Structure 1
Amino acid sequence: MGLIHQRTPTIFFAIVLFMASIALLGNCLLLFLIQTNSTLHTPMYFFLSQLACMDMGQVLIVVPKMSVNFLTQRNTISLAGCVAQIFLTLTMGSSECFVLAVMSYDRYVAICRPLQYPVLMRRTICLAMTVGIWSSSSLLIMAIALYVGFLPYCGSNVINHFVCEFPALLKLSCADTSTFEKMVYVDNVIVILLPVSIMVSSYIAILVQILSMRSTEGRHKALGTCLSHLCVVSIFYSATMLTYTAPVDSYSAERSMIYSVCITVVPPMLNPFIYSLRNRDVLAAARKLFLKCTSQK
């Protein structure tokens, strides 16, 4: 079965390709700085490197296929390829939800319980959380991918989109998907609402702690770190909730295309700049790398 994407407008394609290039370059540089600078070998930057890998994964899963379709004018994808794209994009997206929650918890421990930070965020716990994030995300999304892969499609096979999404496939199916939609709502509670609850609780505690600080410098530093994280969270979660929590009957391809860009391309492009420009440690590492490169010429 072939699933045919509508022809991507040239301007739209050029904008997405430009943002994807910036996202890949920015995240690669951020990863390089974290890996090569010993001062950034902390739990905060460990999870930030995980976020960078997920962001690059989102871009590499969607944009290359979109580029091939645009350049060859053969806007098709097999059902197996479509299901694989759904599985990979949703696994990356749900993993990012959990990582953002863990990053907020990391900031809570660092600001509200600094003496316990070396114990609560030691390396073994960070690695265990990482394994838990990837494995739980894969298992949750596997059920969705397998279900849509075996659905009967007896009508149109055209998706007016540049990426495969399971709500679009549900609209194409002639089977009763009401039970599956209920299962998706349960998944949404786990993948979206649970991390949001952790982040809201963490930031309320952080805000209370910041307001009680006497040091103006310490207050500004804590606020700067948290505000950068909140910017990333608000963009990513807004688009995710609008795309995957709406009923299938209200699915709109035009709106979904905009939301998909906000999920797969915009956060990966903005994250390196938000975290680096508002972070003295990353800026210092970048400055050190620049001076090292210029001194060797």
Structure 2
Amino acid sequence: MPVNTTAPEAGLDLVVTRRTDEADGVVSLDLRRADDAPLPAWTPGAHIDLVLAPDLVRQYSLCSSPEDTRVWRVAVLREEEGRGGSLHVHDKLSEGDQVRVRGPRNHFPLEGAEKYLFIAGGIGITPILPMLEQAERQGSAWQLAYGGRTLASMAFREALVARYGERVRIWPEDAYGLLDLEALLGTPRPGTLVYCCGPAPLLEAVEERCADWPAGALHVERFTPREPEAPLRGGAFEVELAQTGITVSVPPDKSVLQAVEEAGVQVLSSCREGTCGTCETTVLEGTVDHRDSLLTPAEQEAHDTMMICVSRAACPRLVLDL
């Protein structure tokens, strides 16, 4: 009998109560309980899993207000060359449909600060929306630079300008070119935190220009994984599962998650590429070869947690809280 060591997490059957075209290729869904009871609390930067089919689970950022306890809103960009999740949402989910939802979980939390610079590219605006609301509530100064291919492709742009005015800069690429990151980030701003979400080229350019900013100033969220580097260790390593008393050997061609599952231990997982955080596991002993796209450098250096779908051991033996 498999051992289930997954921590409890909300699993809800929610109803699509509103479906709206927000921009070219972008649709938003409002999700509620059938009885309209309150949903679990969440904080800006959180995402949920939509279980679209038994083998089709995708993560989407919550972009509604955390103050509204009865609605979770997500916005989904149609990706013709994607892995099928966005096409399912666009083509098969309608108002009145029920969908299984897991979460929420947050690996992109908004830290307290007096000043913020938010940078969004395309559908990367979604986790930023509730952050702006929180920054307003706490009285922080902020500005948003929002880039997209065209005006018509930029979801929520009109509502943003109507609500926040000149603090929002809309930057369509076909009219102005790429976001002027040198003007935004060329001079470090003490006391300012930078939050960025969008396509990989934007994140890489922002990371490059923030190299001289104070440590911890930049926070990013990735929708796609980083390009993996070669593992620190080439051979097999052992993983002891402290809760179950099992020790497994992880060969070079398998992940820790795969080895654990083959030993009969069930661990909640989703993306299996180090971007969603579902399989995050506490490390009790050992050092980790972190290969995820979620943890900050400081979090990685602590070696007290890991995404077992992609990260490996940097030592002969790890002990995990499983």
Q: Report TM bin, short chain.
A: under 0.3
Please, what TM-score do these two structures have when normalized by structure 2?
0.21
Higher RCO (C-alpha 8 Å, min separation 6): 1
